[in-house]
Amino acid sequence: LNEFELIRRYFARRDPVRPDVILGIGDDAALLEVPAGRQLALATDTLVEGIHVPAGTDPASIGHKALAVNLSDLAAMGAEPAWFTLNLTLPRAEAAWLEDFARGLFDLARAQGVQLVGGDTTHGPLTVTVGACGFVPPGQALTRAGARPGDRIYVSGVLGEAGLALPMLRGQLELPEEYQAAVLERFHRPWPRVREGLALRGLASACIDISDGLLADLGHVLEQSGVGARIDLSRLPVSPAYDTVFSALGWDTALAAGDDYELCFTLPPAREQALHRAAAGFAGSLSWIGEIEAEAGLRIMDEAGRPYRPARRGYDHFAAD
Ligand code: ADP
Ligand code: MG
């Protein structure tokens, strides 16, 4: 299987096929039609085997996750996804692996109506980089910079569920049998909150997706908005699986583990009613976890209203060990 056969067999001319792709895979560049009156949102993220995905992860999950994490970034901007690129570095060209990888990738692409329009294929340690593009009306993108004192802080879904997977896989955490599959699914197949991000346009004052843990990601919002915040642990949404190991983990996994890919956003109090109307179409629940404050820094309150100091703050690739 040479490079060009590989591209043709697994990646070229797969559905969905969008009319705004004038020229897709096969030339020196793709030609794409951005709708009139829309801005282009562009995000790119890399998965490295051994870092973002444990060695030996099933290829369909890698394909899914590589696209999902990028669609999650577009969701956090309130952008409507349209196209993506795939830069694939492979240790070897193995038909069965590529078949499964492509299935995971294109199942999600189809579900989200996004088309693969180009990429690059190289030889080396397994690394998958996706670049994803979407559309947003001018001025309506959700950024990290708009939070204001008095805004309420919300998260979608539950926190810390994906963070149970690695300790479980390493045999460091014992989860009841009935929760194990759901935890692995959350970790390997995060579902990007695209619909939720679109519904938050015109409502949220700031938004981010939770890829590195709530503390790290909310921290980016606070920093870029020039504000601080208070959050209440008693309001943090955790899953039933998390509840079963709460006595061992406490709040820290929910606060600092990555890979949840839920949205964290801020909302001016006057838009509360509008949010509740919009939230009818959301996949999971929404939780109000705290409030933006003028004073810089993040204050975490425990169930008794006392300050809580977390043991870790989130994932940082270059943090000193
Ligand atoms: P060039 O040498 O001009 O960069 P390539 O041989 O790298 O061209 O790629 C040929 C075509 O195949 C291009 O349209 C490129 O975007 C596409 N392509 C290459 N690898 C992939 C991939 N992994 N997924 C999707 N498209 C790809
Ligand atoms: Mg190339």
Residue nearest to atom 7 of ligand 1 (CA): 120
* 270 CB-near residues (< 8 Å, 6+ apart): none
pLDDT of residue 252 exceeding 90, the answer is yes
Residue nearest to atom 27 of ligand 1 (CA): 119
How would residue 13 be classed by pLDDT, with cut points 50, 70 and 90?
confident
pLDDT of residue 81 exceeding 50, the answer is yes
CA 120 – ligand 2 centroid, Å: 5
CA 16 – ligand 1 centroid, Å: 18
Which atom of ligand 1 is found nearest the CA of 88? 23
For 38-78, write each residue's pLDDT tens digit. 999 999 999 999 998 999 999 999 999 999 999 999 999 99
For 169-188, write each residue's pLDDT tens digit. 999 999 999 999 999 999 99
**Any alpha helices (H) in 189-250, and if so which ranges?**
194-199, 214-225, 240-244, 246-249
Indicate the pairing of strand 39-48 with strand 127-136.
antiparallel
Q: Which ligand sits nearest to residue 13's alpha carbon?
A: 1
Which of 5, 23, 25, 67 best tests ligand 1's pocket when mutated (most atoms within 8 Å of CB)?
25
Indicate the pairing of strand 80-90 with strand 127-136.
antiparallel
CA 124 – ligand 1 centroid, Å: 16
Which atom of ligand 1 is found nearest the CA of 25? 14
Average pLDDT over residues 240-263: 95
Q: CA–CA distance from 37 to each of 30, 136, 139, 161, 289 (Å)?
A: 21, 9, 11, 39, 36
For 140-175, write each residue's pLDDT tens digit. 999 999 999 999 999 999 999 999 999 999 999 999
* pLDDT, position 78: 98
Answer whether 8's CB lies under 8 Å from 121's CB. no
Report the share of the chain in percent with pLDDT over 70.
97
- Tokens for 178? 């009935």
How would residue 295 be classed by pLDDT, with cut points 50, 70 and 90?
very high
Q: Which ligand sits nearest to residue 10's alpha carbon?
A: 1
CA 127 – ligand 2 centroid, Å: 15
Residue nearest to atom 8 of ligand 1 (CA): 28
First to last CA, the chain: 41
Task: Please state, in angstroms and rounded to a whole number, the distance separating the CA atoms of residues 51 and 38.
Answer: 36
Answer whether 62's CB lies under 8 Å from 104's CB. yes
Question: Is 27 a pocket residue for ligand 1 (Cβ < 6 Å)?
Answer: yes
* pLDDT, position 316: 60
pTM: 0.95
Judged by DSSP in three states, 94 sits in coil
Which of 3, 4, 5, 7 best tests ligand 1's pocket when mutated (most atoms within 8 Å of CB)?
7
Q: Is 64 left (phi over 0), alpha (psi -120 to 50) or beta?
A: alpha
Answer whether 179's CB lies under 8 Å from 251's CB. no
Q: CA–CA distance from 6 to each of 93, 118, 122, 204 (Å)?
A: 8, 13, 11, 43
pLDDT of residue 321 exceeding 60, the answer is no
Average pLDDT over residues 26-32: 96
Which atom of ligand 1 is found nearest the CA of 24? 14
Task: Please state, in angstroms and rounded to a whole number, the distance separating the CA atoms of residues 76 and 195.
Answer: 10
* pLDDT, position 319: 57
Element (H, E) at 261: none
Determine the length of the chain: 321
